[in-house]
């Protein structure tokens, strides 16, 4: 197969569908979503059957929890359909405009518009396919989806189920799907500047680094989280303990989980041994700086390579610092610009920390786990951006839009 | 010289200066700008002397108009200083925040912040050095500037003049300058993801394509304009003529100049011969589609390669179309997403055109030349973005900012 010809063909259909989508209104797009949800439930049996092929093929290669994430059941399809309906209920992300007049007599309107065609490259879980499709449709965008080879049968069945709904509305290709495991197709997507308006990689660090390295299409980097909690000397230590346990252990494999703990020297004696004990009760491995090792002698000595690392596992590294300034400097040196937290009762230190820490989200007296589209009130998220261009932190449907200027005159020319 | 070590050193200073800048308020940044303006005027003689070295060296290689753009005089330095003062008077681009509470009891604030360190690669004119420096400082950003080798002495003298003002404020490196013609320095800038938050290429199509091809730092593409004017059948043809003459000839070398003219078939006879005559009186070469050639027999036949081309010269290509739909389709196929205009008295066609044409700015009954930060009321511009990520069209100081979330709680953990 000629990967370039194939992907460009998909992108051409997507471009036309995107133009049609952009001229629909929010009510029209919501009707599509409602029909898609119904169609998925109606086709649940076929989807589950196709998914079983993927699960069977993966049995030898995947862990039990990976297999669980791959598997679809009628209940899971019902849940996916219900997520689509939740997206349909979100406010119109294309609503709202600013307008002003300028001395030349021109009237300028800044209006929100969809990007056009959004490419998403993602891994494993097939429910992501429908999540992204519905967020893109809600925001008036066509999308080109590239899931993992291990979910190919499942994804194909999901797309097959929703496509008739789109085609009946004259939107063939609005949700385009790269139906081949050929990796060349990904390379073509990354080079398709001018045909693809935005590319979002969702997945492991390797996928994201590869996309940044190779893409000529504008990229939004998502989802790497080397998140810190700094316990200040004025912290309520019981609160700090509760937050660290939650941030580290509630779901250690996600990007907003805590990876590092910084502790003010003046409370190190009081806090670190108690904290280490509580973490170990939850099965967490402790790594520590030299001062931490004095307080927790059987901890693993932390190496330089630990500080920039995202473990995504039941491991934490603890460092004693001299105060808020050292905490900020350490974080800005090693963090991935995702989420950082301070536990403090000192207003001034909270302000210093929130102002000077460079991250998408900075928490005061709350768990890092709250950086999430749902928790922020966005209803759903496409991913969590860790770059600064365009969108930062949880990206909802609003962040899948851009704008254009419409300028109206009555014959103005420039002098 | 080790280019990587050199550029990384500059970026490290810039990063620290950027953190200090970000904690200053608007009044503090404005004082810096006022002092920079005064210092430039005070050092005018030395700057002009350094500039003369560049002008002398370029005499053999440059056209008269290129030499004119390179040359600095005391009057020009006065004008540059006055531009800095105008930037100081702009509203604070970091003002304004949204805040809301969520059911978990957290209070979320979305606050505007600088990017941090912005890299700009640009060509020729030394006044751009100070333009960009003042826009970056106003928006709280440090910058790393890489001008053209042909302006190296001028740029060095400009930076030497303003640096003491920054150093006295504890902002060494806030305006960093790559003081070497070694092209490897540009490669290092493009690979400096994590050290450089944003990269803006300003210059010719070659520079911009090279940056997009090679940069791992997020890029904003600027300044390619294959701009069209579509004359609808209901157009006021006198107005159309006035606008086309202005858009094409007032300053043909800039990105918002018109390159293509599309004419509704029903007014082709009445409009094209008269328009061609007026354009030729201004020295414009006419290229045309086959129907245009029947009306202007001595025009140059337009080739397929003409339609996507940005001439930046006194050349125009004219095409007869069947109506607004064909005009939109042609534009969306060939344009560079910069500025497109329709001349019409038909409300519905104006709406179709503004909604469906994919460009940063869409004009109704006005010259394409109005897509400009000053004309839009932004006071100044860093460039005109032709991509959709982050900023579109004229980028003022506001577009040099991003945001972060500050989340305040009282011990919340996720359930």
Question: How far is residue A403's CA from residue A139's CA, in Å, rounded to a whole number?
Answer: 12
Chain A residues inside the 8 Å CB shell of B389: 197-198, 218, 220, 389-390, 402
Over residues A111-131, mean pLDDT: 93
Partner-chain contact A390 B390, CB within 8 Å: yes
Q: What is the pLDDT of residue A204?
A: 84
Domain identity same for B121 and B17: yes
Domain identity same for A161 and A310: no
Residue A396 has pLDDT above 90, yes or no: yes
Question: How far is residue A329's CA from residue A340's CA, in Å, rounded to a whole number?
Answer: 12
Over residues B266-288, mean pLDDT: 98
Residue A140 has pLDDT above 80, yes or no: yes
Residue A313 has pLDDT above 90, yes or no: yes
B210 inside domain: yes
Asked if B333 is an interface residue toward chain A (Cβ–Cβ < 8 A), one would say no
Q: What is the pLDDT of residue A66?
A: 87
For chain A, the average pLDDT equals 96
Asked if B242 is an interface residue toward chain A (Cβ–Cβ < 8 A), one would say yes
The CA distance from A408 to the nearest CA of chain B, in Å, is 5
Quickly state the pLDDT bin for B124 (edges 50, 70, 90): confident
b/e for A267-277, b at 16 or more Cβ within 10 A?
A: bbeebbeebbe
Q: What is the pLDDT of residue B205?
A: 85
Nearest to A377 by CA among B405, B79, B17: B405
Asked if B237 is an interface residue toward chain A (Cβ–Cβ < 8 A), one would say no
Per this entry, what is the length of chain A? Answer: 415
Mutate which: B254, B366, B382, B393, vs A, most A CBs within 10 A: B366
A414 inside domain: no
Quickly state the pLDDT bin for A356 (edges 50, 70, 90): very high
Partner-chain contact B367 A414, CB within 8 Å: yes
Question: How far is residue B362's CA from residue B343's CA, in Å, rounded to a whole number?
Answer: 11
pLDDT in tens, A33-62: 999 999 999 999 999 999 999 999 999 999
Domain identity same for B342 and B237: yes
pLDDT in tens, A154-188: 999 999 999 999 999 999 999 999 999 899 999 99
Mutate which: B96, B105, B333, B388, vs A, most A CBs within 10 A: B388
- Return all residues near B319 (Cβ < 8 A) that are at least 6 apart: B260, B261, B262, B263, B288, B289, B291, B292, B302, B307, B330
Over residues B243-265, mean pLDDT: 97
b/e for B108-128, b at 16 or more Cβ within 10 A?
A: bbbbbbbbbbbbbbbbbbbbb
The enclosing domain of A294 has a CATH number of: 3.40.309.10
Asked if A333 is an interface residue toward chain B (Cβ–Cβ < 8 A), one would say no
Domain identity same for B234 and B211: no
Mutate which: B389, B400, B410, vs A, most A CBs within 10 A: B389
Domain identity same for B273 and B256: yes
A297 inside domain: yes
Quickly state the pLDDT bin for B1 (edges 50, 70, 90): confident
Chain B residues inside the 8 Å CB shell of A243: 411, 413
Nearest to B10 by CA among B163, B123, B214: B163
Chain A residues inside the 8 Å CB shell of B364: 406-409
B383 inside domain: no
Domain identity same for B98 and B164: yes
pLDDT in tens, B134-161: 999 999 999 999 999 999 999 999 999 9
Chain B residues inside the 8 Å CB shell of A347: none
Residues linked to residue A200 through DSSP beta bridges, in sequence order: A120
Least confident of A20-29, A266-275, B372-381, B395-404: B372-381
Over residues A274-287, mean pLDDT: 98
Asked if B196 is an interface residue toward chain A (Cβ–Cβ < 8 A), one would say no
Q: Is A8 exposed, middle or buried (0-12, 13-18, 19+ CB in 10 A)?
A: middle
Q: What is the pLDDT of residue B272?
A: 98
Q: Which of residues 46-75 of A touch B (CB under 8 A)?
A: none
Asked if B17 is an interface residue toward chain A (Cβ–Cβ < 8 A), one would say no
pLDDT in tens, B181-214: 899 999 999 999 999 999 999 988 889 999 999 9
Q: What is the ipTM of this complex?
A: 0.94
* Token pair of B43 as six digits: 């050092």
Quickly state the pLDDT bin for B66 (edges 50, 70, 90): confident
Asked if B106 is an interface residue toward chain A (Cβ–Cβ < 8 A), one would say yes
Domain identity same for A79 and A215: yes
Nearest to B229 by CA among B243, B215, B209, B250: B243
A247 inside domain: yes
* Token pair of B305 as six digits: 């390669």
Q: What is the pLDDT of residue A189?
A: 97
Q: How many CA atoms lie within 13 A of A40 on its CB side?
A: 33
Question: How far is residue A382's CA from residue B171's CA, in Å, rounded to a whole number?
Answer: 38
A380 inside domain: no
Question: How far is residue A69's CA from residue A3's CA, in Å, rounded to a whole number?
Answer: 29
Q: What is the pLDDT of residue B197?
A: 96
Asked if B361 is an interface residue toward chain A (Cβ–Cβ < 8 A), one would say yes
Asked if A414 is an interface residue toward chain B (Cβ–Cβ < 8 A), one would say yes
Residue A20 has pLDDT above 80, yes or no: yes
Q: Which of residues 109-168 of A touch B (CB under 8 A)?
A: 115-116
Domain identity same for B127 and B38: yes
Domain identity same for B117 and B13: yes
Q: Are B358 and B113 contacting, i.e. CB atoms less than 8 angstroms apart? A: no
Asked if B99 is an interface residue toward chain A (Cβ–Cβ < 8 A), one would say no
Share of chain A above pLDDT 70, in %: 100
- Return all residues near A22 (Cβ < 8 A) that are at least 6 apart: A113, A114, A116, A140, B355, B356
Q: DSSP code of A183?
A: T
A413 inside domain: no
Over residues A326-349, mean pLDDT: 97
Q: Identify the closest residue of chain A to B211 by CA–CA distance.
A: A216
Q: Structural domain tally of chain B?
A: 2
Share of chain B above pLDDT 90, in %: 93
Nearest to B306 by CA among B226, B215, B405, B217: B226
List the single residue in A213, A250, A366 with the smallest CB-CB distance to B412: A366
The full DSSP string for A313-352 is: SSEEEEEEESSHHHHHHHHHHH--SSEEEEE-S-HHHHHH
Q: Are B364 and B341 contacting, i.e. CB atoms less than 8 angstroms apart? A: yes
Asked if A214 is an interface residue toward chain B (Cβ–Cβ < 8 A), one would say no
pLDDT in tens, B326-355: 999 999 999 999 999 999 999 999 999 999
Domain identity same for A298 and A263: yes
Asked if B16 is an interface residue toward chain A (Cβ–Cβ < 8 A), one would say no
Domain identity same for B218 and B231: no
The helix-helix angle for B44-58 and B26-42 (nearest 10°) equals 70
For chain B, the average pLDDT equals 96
Quickly state the pLDDT bin for A125 (edges 50, 70, 90): confident
Domain identity same for A59 and A106: yes
A383 inside domain: no
Q: What is the pLDDT of residue B56?
A: 96
Q: What is the pLDDT of residue A124?
A: 74
Q: Are A176 and A13 contacting, i.e. CB atoms less than 8 angstroms apart? A: yes
Chain B residues inside the 8 Å CB shell of A359: 404
The enclosing domain of B197 has a CATH number of: 3.40.605.10
Question: How far is residue B90's CA from residue B85's CA, in Å, rounded to a whole number?
Answer: 9
Over residues A190-205, mean pLDDT: 93
Q: Which domain holds residue A69?
A: 3-221+390-408
- Return all residues near A180 (Cβ < 8 A) that are at least 6 apart: A1, A3, A6
């Amino acid at each position: 197969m000629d990967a370039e010809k194939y992907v460009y063909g998909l992108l051409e259909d997507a471009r036309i569908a995107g133009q049609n989508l952009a001229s629909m209104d929010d009510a029209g797009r919501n009707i599509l979503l409602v029909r898609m949800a119904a169609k998925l439930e109606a086709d649940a049996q076929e989807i589950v059957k196709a998914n079983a092929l993927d699960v069977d093929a993966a049995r030898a290669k995947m862990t039990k929890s990976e297999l669980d994430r791959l598997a679809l059941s009628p209940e899971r399809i019902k849940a996916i359909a219900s997520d689509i309906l939740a997206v349909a209920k979100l406010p119109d992300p294309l609503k709202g405009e600013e307008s002003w007049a300028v001395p030349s007599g021109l009237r300028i309107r800044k209006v929100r518009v969809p990007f056009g065609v959004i490419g998403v490259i993602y891994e494993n879980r097939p429910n992501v396919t429908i999540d992204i499709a519905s967020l893109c449709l809600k925001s008036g965008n066509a999308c080109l989806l590239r899931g993992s080879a291990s979910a190919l049968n499942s994804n194909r069945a999901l797309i097959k189920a929703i496509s008739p709904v789109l085609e009946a509305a004259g939107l063939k290709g609005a949700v385009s799907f790269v139906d081949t495991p050929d990796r060349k197709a990904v390379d073509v997507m990354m080079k398709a500047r001018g045909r693809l308006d935005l590319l979002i990689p969702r997945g492991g660090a390797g996928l994201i680094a590869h996309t940044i390295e190779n893409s000529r299409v504008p990229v939004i980097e998502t989802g790497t989280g080397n998140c810190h909690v700094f316990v200040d000397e004025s912290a309520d230590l019981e609160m700090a303990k509760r937050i660290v346990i939650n941030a580290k252990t509630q779901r250690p494999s996600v990007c907003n989980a805590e990876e590092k703990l910084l502790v003010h020297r003046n409370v190190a004696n009081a806090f670190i041994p108690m904290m280490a004990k509580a973490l170990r009760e939850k099965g967490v491995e402790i790594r520590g700086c030299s001062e931490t090792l004095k307080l927790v002698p059987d901890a693993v000595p932390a190496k330089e390579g630990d500080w920039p690392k995202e473990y995504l596992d039941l491991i934490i590294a603890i460092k004693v610092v001299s105060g808020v300034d050292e905490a900020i400097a350490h974080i800005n040196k090693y963090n991935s610009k995702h989420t950082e937290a301070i536990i403090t009762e000192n207003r001034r230190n909270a302000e210093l920390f929130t102002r000077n820490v460079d991250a998408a989200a900075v928490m005061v007296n709350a768990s890092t786990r709250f950086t999430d589209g749902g928790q922020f009130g966005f209803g759903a998220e496409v991913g969590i951006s860790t770059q600064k261009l365009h969108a930062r932190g949880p990206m909802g449907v609003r962040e899948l839009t851009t704008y254009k200027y419409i300028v109206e005159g009555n014959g103005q020319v420039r002098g």
